[in-house]
Amino acid sequence: MPAHGPFETTHRAADGRYDGQEYRRTGNSGLDLPAFSFGLWQKFGTDHPYETQREIVLHAFDLGITHFDNANRYGPPHRAAEKFFGTVLRRDLAPYRDELILSTKAGNPIGPSPYHRGGSRKSLLTSLDHSLRDLGTDYVDIFYSHSPDPATPLEETVGALVTAVRSGKALYAGISNYAPERAHEAAESLRRAGVPLLVHQPRYSIFDRRPEINGLLKLAAEDGFGLVVYSPLAQGLLTNKYLDGTIPPDARARNSAFLSADDIDDTYRERATALNEIAQRRGQSLAQLALQWVLRQPQVTSALIGASSTWQLDHNTRALDFPPLTDEELALIDQHGVHGTGVRV
Ligand SMILES: NC(=O)c1ccc[n+]([C@@H]2O[C@H](COP(=O)([O-])OP(=O)(O)OC[C@H]3O[C@@H](n4cnc5c(N)ncnc54)[C@H](OP(=O)(O)O)[C@@H]3O)[C@@H](O)[C@H]2O)c1
C-alpha cells in the first residue's frame, strides 16, 4: 500500500513545512499566500532535466511555498511547463492538491492561430480548458489575463474571467501587466460581476520601479487587491552572480531570450556592486536584500521568484530573517537602485 493511499507517490512532504514560511493576506480577500511564490517561466521546459525540475518544485513545497505560478506560454515549447507540473502533481503532489495554490495565465501569444492570443473569450476560456488538461486538475486557484489587450473590449476579457470562476474552473481572478487605469477598470467591472479581483501580477524590483512610479501600489490598497510581484531579482541581476564581470555557464543571461549579456554593462555593475555592499553591511546577500525590499510594501502579498537550484531556494527564502530596512538604508538603495538598470522597460 503506498504511503498516501491510492496515489502512487514517491514524495512525502516535509512535516514542518508551514513553520518557516510567512503567509500574507491577499488584498481584501480571505486568501493567504506565501511570502515567496514559485514561478515556472524559465528552465521548466523540455530543454532541462525533469529530475532537477522535480527536485526544485518538491523542495519549494517542503519550504512552505504553496503557490506555483504557471502560464500556457511557459516552456519551451509553449505549454511544456504546465505539462511538467501536471506530471509532478500526478506522481508526487496529488495528495496535497488542497494545500496548493496553482495559477495559470492566458492571452499572450502561443501560436499563429488568432485564438491562441489576445483577451477574447475564445482565447482565454479554451486556453484554460487546455491548461486544466495539461495540469491534470479540475480547477486552478487563480486564472489570470496575462496582459491587457487593447484590441478587445475589457468587458469581454473580464467576462471570460467571471465565467472561469463561476464555472468552478478557477477559484479567483487575476490580471497581469495591466497599467493602473485599466487595472482599476477591470477591478470595478469584476466587482460589479460579484467576482472581486484577487490579485495583480506586475514586475517590481529595485531596478524596475514602475509600480511606485505609476501608482499601482497605491491603487492596490484603494481597490483592495493583492500584488504578486514578478522578477523581484530582475532575473538574477539583483544577485551577486554577475558582479565580477563574467557570466557563469548556466546563468540565465547565457541561455534566455529575455536576458542577455548586453544587459550586463558597466553601469549595471557599478549600481549592483553598491547595492551588494549595502547588503553585506547588513550581513545578507544582494538577493536577500532585493527580496526583503519588495516585501517591505504592505500591498505586496508575495514575491514571485524563479530558481534553477534548491540552493537558490534555500538561500532566497531566508530573506525575511533579517532586521527591517531602515529609512537610511532605503534612501541609500534609492541612490543606486535606478529604475531601468539592466532591465528592458
Ligand atoms: N506575468 C508575467 O508577464 C510574468 C513575466 C515574467 C515572470 N513571471 C513570473 O515570475 C516568475 C519569476 O520570474 P523570474 O524567474 O524572472 O524571477 P527572479 O526571481 O527575478 O529571477 C530568478 C532567477 O535568478 C537566478 N537566481 C535566483 N536566486 C539566485 C541566487 N541566490 N544567486 C544567483 N542567482 C539566482 C536564477 O536564474 P539562473 O540561475 O538561471 O541564472 C533564477 O531562475 C516566473 O517564473 C513567472 O512565474 C510573470
Tens digit of each residue's pLDDT (9 = 90 or more) over 77-95: 999 999 999 999 999 999 9
Is pLDDT at 155 greater than 70 in this prediction?
yes
In a domain, 222, yes or no: no
pLDDT above 50 (res 112): yes
- Of 341, 342, 291, 340, residue with least CA distance to 312: 291
Q: Which of 305, 310, 344 to mutate to test the pocket of ligand 1 (most atoms within 8 A of CB)?
A: 305
Cβ-contact 93, 86 below 8 angstroms? no
**pLDDT band for position 344 (cuts 50, 70, 90):** confident
Q: Which residue, chain included where needed, has cell 517590481?
A: 204
Residue 41 belongs to a domain: yes
Do 64 and 19 form a contact (C-beta atoms < 8 A)?
yes
Any atom of ligand 1 within 6 Å of the Cβ of 202: no
The answer as to whether 209 is a domain residue is no
The reported pLDDT for the residue numbered 308 is 97
**Burial of residue 171, with CB atoms counted within 10 A of its CB: 0-12 exposed, 13-18 middle, 19 or more buried:** middle
Compare 247 and 8 and report the one with higher pLDDT: 247
CATH number of the domain that residue 129 is part of: 3.20.20.100
The atom of ligand 1 lying closest to the CA of 238 is 20
Per-residue pLDDT, 257: 85
pLDDT band at 8 (very low <50, low <70, confident <90, very high): low
The response to whether residue 145 sits with its C-beta less than 6 Å from ligand 1 reads no
Place of cell 532605503: 330
Domain presence at residue 52: yes
Q: Which residue range forms the structural domain that includes residue 113?
A: 23-201
Domain assignment present for residue 332? The answer is: no
High-pLDDT (> 90) share of the chain, %: 92
Residue 2: its pLDDT value, please?
41
Report the residue among 67, 145, 235 best suited for mutation to probe ligand 1: largest number of ligand atoms under 8 A from its CB: 235
Structural domain count, the chain: 1
The ligand 1 atom at the shortest distance from the C-alpha of residue 248 is: 41
Report residue 262's pLDDT band, with 50, 70 and 90 as the boundaries.
confident
Residue 41 predicted with pLDDT over 60:
yes
Average pLDDT, the chain: 96
Residues 74 and 40 sit within 8 Å (Cβ to Cβ) = yes
Greater pLDDT, 40 or 257: 40
DSSP string covering 98-115: GG-EEEEEE-S--SSSTT
Residue 141 within any structural domain of the chain: yes
Ligand 1 pocket residue status of 317, Cβ below 6 Å: no
Burial grade of 276 (CB within 10 A; 0-12, 13-18, 19 or more) = buried
Number of other residues whose CB lies within 10 A of the CB of residue 29: 17
| CB atoms near residue 296 (< 10 Å) | 12
Is 50 contained in some domain? yes
Ligand 1, atom 26, lies closest to the CA of 236
Domain assignment of residue 16, yes or no: no
